Amino acid sequence: MDGLKVVIFGASGNTGLCCTEAAINLGCEVTAFVRDPEKLPESIASQVTVKVGDVLDASAVDEAVSGQDGVVILLGTRNNLSATTLMSEGTKNILAAMDEHGVKRVSGCLSAFNFWERSKVPERFLPILEDHERMLTALKASNQEWIAVLPPHITDEPGQGDYVKEHGSGPGRTISKYDLGHFMVSCLSDDANLHQLCGLCDKPDS
């Protein structure tokens, strides 16, 4: 992926930092879009182009997307499970900017609950799931080469560097934030992932 120009939205989040570091290690030219640049460690900030803005600000998003080869969407609300439109509205701004600038490839992080029957999802997660559903609808309706990544519970465990991936189903209960971050950017270079719902999980102990 040497030289691939990638902008990462949500680059200062738990998984976002892992993804940004993975993108650097894969040889990408990285733009980190963040609300608070103080949340980017200097070791990362010194190796990327930092764009400070709000994903709900269409002009800031447009500027960040211009000139890129690919986009990674890692928007989230951390531990806040309240109803929101942040992720879906932010995604719509990103997709509009991609249309404007002819950027085609995008990966978006949602939730393994998108695989589940709604009646089986724990009630406390339903408000967040509703916005992930709107986000997925926006990706599917776009003209982009989208990849929807639907992780299960994200842990702080060290990355294995190898993990299980399935298209169309969730293969397991947990995934390391390091492995998820790596996949969010590496999946952009594999055409087999295009227009797929990608489930991930840690490899089981042998």
Active site residues: 109, 187
What backbone phi and psi angles, to 5 degrees, belong to 133? -65, -40
CB 201 within 8 A of CB 175: yes
HSE on the CB side for 198, CA within 13 Å? 25
- CA-to-CA distance for 54 and 90, rounded, in angstroms? 9
* Residue pointed to by tokens 């934030």: 177
Per-residue CA distances from 94 to 55, 102, 145 (Å): 8, 12, 13
Report the candidate in 90, 64, 60 with the shortest Cα–Cα distance to residue 75.
90
- CA-to-CA distance for 16 and 58, rounded, in angstroms? 21
